[in-house]
Structure 1
Amino acid sequence: MIETIKKAKARRNIDKPLILHSDRGSQYVSKEYKRVTATMQCSYSKKAYPWDNACIESFHSLIKREWLNRFKIRDYDHAYRLIFEYLEAFYNTKRIHSHCDYMSPKDYEELYRRLQQDELQLAG
């Protein structure tokens, strides 16, 4: 999980404040986790509040329905490659999302960046 956070930060070139939400598992309170997430705002689920997991459970249902159920998964590496392919080649780049005004997350972020640049140019 620590490696995943490091890769995500590097790949996305994150320099703005970042919120990272997780449950209250022991791995999320380790010294290494706290070190890696020191510059982030960490958000944790409330104790005994399963509704916080609704979004990720909905996503798990979606990835199974749209992608994983098409394959006979052989092992961990195969599952990893399938999930990586779904996320990187479809979910974040092509699949439209209602909360992104029916754009892909990639297109939505690009539009957001362009609008931010336009505002900066107008202000400056």
Structure 2
Amino acid sequence: MIAFIDTYRDQFGVEAICRVLQTADCGFLTSRGYRAAKSRPASTRAVRDRMLIEDMQRIHAENYSVYGYRKMHHAMRRAGWDIGRDQTARLMKTAGLHGVRRGRTPMTTTRAESPDGRPDLVKREFAAAGPNRLWVADIT
């Protein structure tokens, strides 16, 4: 909410944005609350998260950017951080870090390089005049 107000404050003004957001039932912030939120210092969690993300990015780069959250959790614990697995996943998502999956993606279909040159002997008419006159098979 605060980032949204920061983006549009020069265009519309803080008070007008807060007034409109309150009428839309999604605004919980008054102009006074916005200014208080901007002046208050960062929380302990936010400060620690910034430190963890910096170290996490360094460890991720040292390991060729292939670690997922499980291996990153173990690497952070070895580095001396007391951090949980879910917290590691949350911070990796925030920092835009992700692991690399092993193996290849399966190739299920290969397109033909040239158009189908086989003749259409039925001429797309699949109704037979009698039994054993027309045999059609579908291998898809």
Query: Does the pair score TM above 0.5?
Result: no
Q: Could you tell me the TM-score, scaled by structure 2's length?
A: 0.21
Q: Could you tell me the TM-score, scaled by structure 1's length?
A: 0.23
More helix by share: 1
More strand by share: 1
User: Rg larger in 1 or in 2?
Assistant: 2
